[in-house]
Amino acid sequence: MKKVLFILVASLLLITACSKNGGNGNEGASGSPSSSASAAGADSKEPVTLKLVYKDLPPEDPNSLKLVKAIEDGMAKQGTPIKLEIVPVQAGTYSEKLGLLLQSGTIPDLIYFQGGDYNFAMNQKILEDLTPYIEKSTHVKASLSELNNERMKNYPYLIWMAPMRAQVPVVRQDWFDKTASGKALLENPTIDNYYSFFKELKEVSGAKYVYTVAGLLPEIDVMFNQAFGLTSTWIKGADGKYAFASTTQAEKEKLDFYAKLYKEGLLDPEFLTKKWDTKEKAFYDGEAAVMAGTQGKIIDIYNTKTVGQNGEAAKVMVLPPAKGKAQGYLPVDVSKESRGMAIASTSEHKDLAFAVLEYMASPEGQMIDKLGIEGEEYTLEGGKIKLTEKFAAWYPHFVENMENFKPAQEFDPSTPYLSEPAVKSMEMFGAMSTKDNVFVIPSDLSSKWDASLAIYNEFAANYVVGKAADFDKFVQDWNAAGGKEVTDYANTILK
């Protein structure tokens, strides 16, 4: 009898030891975040290292380090210990440098793309289909908007829990209030009324020019494209066939208007060489009167910086899109996410990588992502969230959407999460936005599409500054560069 009891006790001890050591070490077969948590997770002494590459998380930046530590601490408390290792990217154009990193064989578990992902996903097959992960999730699913979901259906490799990165134009409120034409503009924002407003705005503000953009024209297109009839990327003609909008007569009329603004000193004379930072500086310094920025948080940042430099009266004011043949900001591309987080199909810890996204979409994760660290970026005073001066340098990296953001405490009225102009930008965009008919370009046509777009960008810039005049010749060059093949393809898939 004693022998039998000894064997039973020994067996129980052996089972307990195996359990504490994580069993056979497999991560689980279900593919869900919960299975990875038990596998890597709660009982493991050592956290699993996940590699992350992200444009806006420089490895040595103090806020990057704070965010990473907060994620690690938060997930450890929930029973899923991980260690996030930020992979550096060489200075330069992010999409190009990221491509070089991936081609070198360094493929992190979590990858932030900002363009340049399509060929990797299709040709290299290094991106994981995120559909099954999202279906099993709780917080990620709740943090996706209708447009996010539509993009994911078309292209399930990138997830970006953020509002559409659509831009709206803003002007300083104090300068707008000095104009007599501003009221008429708001009542009837025609192209002619905008032209009159621009001329008066330059005079009363003392700005060197009115509208500034960073290099290319889409930042002014947000105001004028639909007014000229450029309501989508592909325009259906009287013959029933689709043409690339930028090769139509409506595009020529728009470029003629831009050339007029340029000639009269209303469009930034250095717009071709402006970068995003020099564009914003020109606005803050009072050299420019109008610029465009992404709705929501970016407009909030513009407002904070403008007020900080020029006083409360200089808060930004969102301008409506011009009205003509149609009215609206640039139509929304729902073909795919143009940026977002991906999980490498080569990762040995795909479930854990998604668990990071799930945690960041949770109530606790969103507090960190959106607000920062308690005691630094915000405090709790009288049961309300009060943002500190440090908050101005903090912004969300994983979840910008507000769909699932429900803090346990209210914000102190003196420090709202988003300023009035930021909220207004989202409301106006939501009321005056339309869906585009752009589609994902097949890989065999992508090089032709890129070449034809380069032809357009060069011509449009030269046309505006007076260095090119032959629009018909441009259309011929565009078609010869590959535009004709893409147009033929468009007419096979567009209804």
Look up residue 480 and give its amino acid.
Answer: A
Rounded to an integer, the average pLDDT of 288-312 is 94
Task: Report pLDDT for 470.
Answer: 96
| CA distances to 52, 68, 114, 398 from 110, in Å | 5, 13, 13, 12
Confidence of residue 387 (pLDDT cuts 50, 70, 90): very high
What are the structural domains of the chain? 25-164+337-370 (3.40.190.10), 167-331+436-442 (3.40.190.10)
Q: What kind and span of H or E run contains 342?
A: strand 339-343
Q: Which residues touch 486 (CB under 8 Å, ≥6 apart)?
A: 244, 441, 445, 448, 449, 452
Report the mean per-residue pLDDT for the chain.
89
Task: Report pLDDT for 32.
Answer: 39
Is 485's pLDDT higher than 80? yes
Sign (positive or negative) of CA dihedral 389, 392, 396, 402: positive
C-alpha dihedral (291, 411, 389, 357), degrees to nearest 10: -80
C-alpha dihedral (450, 455, 456, 458), degrees to nearest 10: 120
Whole-angstrom distance, CA of residue 225 vs CA of residue 239: 22
| Residue reference for tokens 């969102």 | 318
First to last CA, the chain: 82
How much of the chain exceeds pLDDT 90, in percent? Answer: 79
Confidence of residue 291 (pLDDT cuts 50, 70, 90): very high
Q: What is the 3-state secondary structure (H, E, C) of 354-372?
A: HHHHHHHCCHHHHHHHHHC
A 10 A CB-CB count for 425 gives 31
Sign (positive or negative) of CA dihedral 125, 130, 132, 136: positive
Give 220-270 pLDDT, tens digit per residue: 999 999 999 999 999 999 999 999 999 999 999 999 999 999 999 999 999
Task: Report pLDDT for 45.
Answer: 65
Give 310-358 pLDDT, tens digit per residue: 999 999 999 999 999 999 999 999 888 989 999 999 999 999 999 999 9
With contact defined as beta carbons under 8 Å apart, do 381 and 144 qualify? no
Is 30's pLDDT higher than 60? no
Give 150-189 pLDDT, tens digit per residue: 999 989 999 999 988 889 999 999 999 999 999 999 999 9
A 10 A CB-CB count for 12 gives 10
Q: Which residues of 225-263 are buried (b: 16+ CB within 10 A; e: fewer)?
A: bbbbbbbbbbbeeeeeebbbbbbbebbbebbebbbebbe
How much of the chain exceeds pLDDT 70, in percent? Answer: 91
Give 85-95 pLDDT, tens digit per residue: 999 999 888 98
Confidence of residue 39 (pLDDT cuts 50, 70, 90): very low
